Amino acid sequence: MRMVLMNGEFIPREQAKVDIEDRGYQFGDGIYEVIRVYNGKMFMAKEHLERLSASSEKIGIAISYSISELTTLLEELIAKNSLSTGIIYMQFTRGVSPRNHSYPTEAVTPTFVAYTKMLNRPLDNLENGVSTITVEDIRWSRCDIKSLNLLGNVMAKQKATEADCYESIQYRELSVTEGSSSNIWIVNGEKIQTHEANQFILNGITRQKIIQLCGENGIEVEEKAFSIEDLIDADEVFLSSTTSEVTPIVSVNNVPVKEGKVGEMTKKLQNLFVEAIISECGQISN
Ligand code: PDD
């Protein structure tokens, strides 16, 4: 039976219900995380839970669980669902309260939900790359918060889907910010570049791992916004996220990136990333 974690209790999936006046349901008033599971073990759980805690502080939701308590609960959730390769989705909302835009004045317990999903590594995309389009970034200016309010991201992803593409690359004025659900990188020669971690992007955990791996392997990284022109002219382009890892981008707006082949630096980073997974989670199967 599929078990989910709801407010600290493990219950069957069918019994997990949300109140119509939950603020997450009505306002998107909450935060979430997606954590990768390889070989039954979470990858970079501490970093994800620290970002969750940072997001909760930014919007004033008090999480009553410590990071180590959450880790134990999530490990139990993986075990109860016998998950090997997949993800954990988890969210906290501000809780249930009569509808009113301002935060409730009375004490409200946040609603906490977590569940697992089987999800293989995207081997075909990792090997052959994906196509993308560019779209204007219409989102708010606190994209650093991993908020449940994803309408801007959802609309951007839908444009990609309608264009038969995997991802939308968003731009604000002349600068590329990030994908609808990923961070975007360019490579020129031996140097890689991605938008700085400010309020216009989510500071991806995969992004942070790539920067760390580059530091350890003498690869130069510049954290600075680049333009659409830079994107089109780059030697290589790739995206990063928990579910997509280091995915090569082989075309932007129907124009191939260089010859439309996966670049050498992207392959090198993919290998370093897989080594990092194996050293934390053990040998991975697919
Ligand atoms: N998305 N930027 C945005 C807007 C994202 O939604 C994500 C992740 C990222 C990459 O972050 P990370 O490396 O921590 O996954 C960047 C998740 C996977 C999602 O919403 O499903």
Q: Sort 254 into a burial class: Cβ within 10 Å, 0-12 / 13-18 / 19+.
A: exposed
Q: Sort 236 into a burial class: Cβ within 10 Å, 0-12 / 13-18 / 19+.
A: buried
Rounded to an integer, what distance in angstroms lies between the CA atom of residue 153 and that of residue 135? 11
Average pLDDT, the chain: 97
Q: What is the 3-state secondary structure of 88-106?
A: EEEEEECCECCCCCCCCCC
Rounded to an integer, what distance in angstroms lies between the CA atom of residue 165 and that of residue 68? 39
**Tell me: the pLDDT tens digits for 106-127?**
999 999 999 999 999 999 999 9
Rounded to an integer, what distance in angstroms lies between the CA atom of residue 196 and that of residue 207? 11
Mean pLDDT of 33-56: 98
List the one residue out of 35, 32, 117, 30 whose CA is nearest residue 71: 35
Mean pLDDT of 257-264: 94
DSSP H or E segment with residue 187:
strand 183-188
Distance of CA 19 from the midpoint of ligand 1 (Å) = 27
Q: Please give the domain boundaries of the chain with CATH numbers for all domains.
A: 3-118 (3.30.470.10), 123-281 (3.20.10.10)
pLDDT at 54 over 80: yes
Which atom in ligand 1 lies closest to the alpha carbon of residue 48? 14
Which residues, judged by CB distance below 6 Å to any ligand atom, belong to the binding site of ligand 1? 34, 153, 178, 181-183, 202, 204-207, 240-243
**Tell me: the pLDDT tens digits for 125-139?**
999 999 999 999 999
Name beta bridge partners: 135. Answer: 170
pLDDT at 197 over 80: yes
Residue 258 confidence (pLDDT): 85
Mutating to test ligand 1, I would choose from 90, 182, 200 the residue with most ligand atoms within 8 A of its C-beta, which is 182
71 dihedral zone (left: phi>0; alpha: psi -120 to 50; beta): alpha
Look up the pTM and report it. Answer: 0.98
**Tell me: the pLDDT tens digits for 155-195?**
999 999 999 999 999 999 999 999 999 999 999 999 999 99
What is the CB neighbour count within 10 angstroms for residue 183? Answer: 24
Paired tokens of 6 = 């709801």
Residue 285 confidence (pLDDT): 77
Rounded to an integer, what distance in angstroms lies between the CA atom of residue 185 and that of residue 195? 8
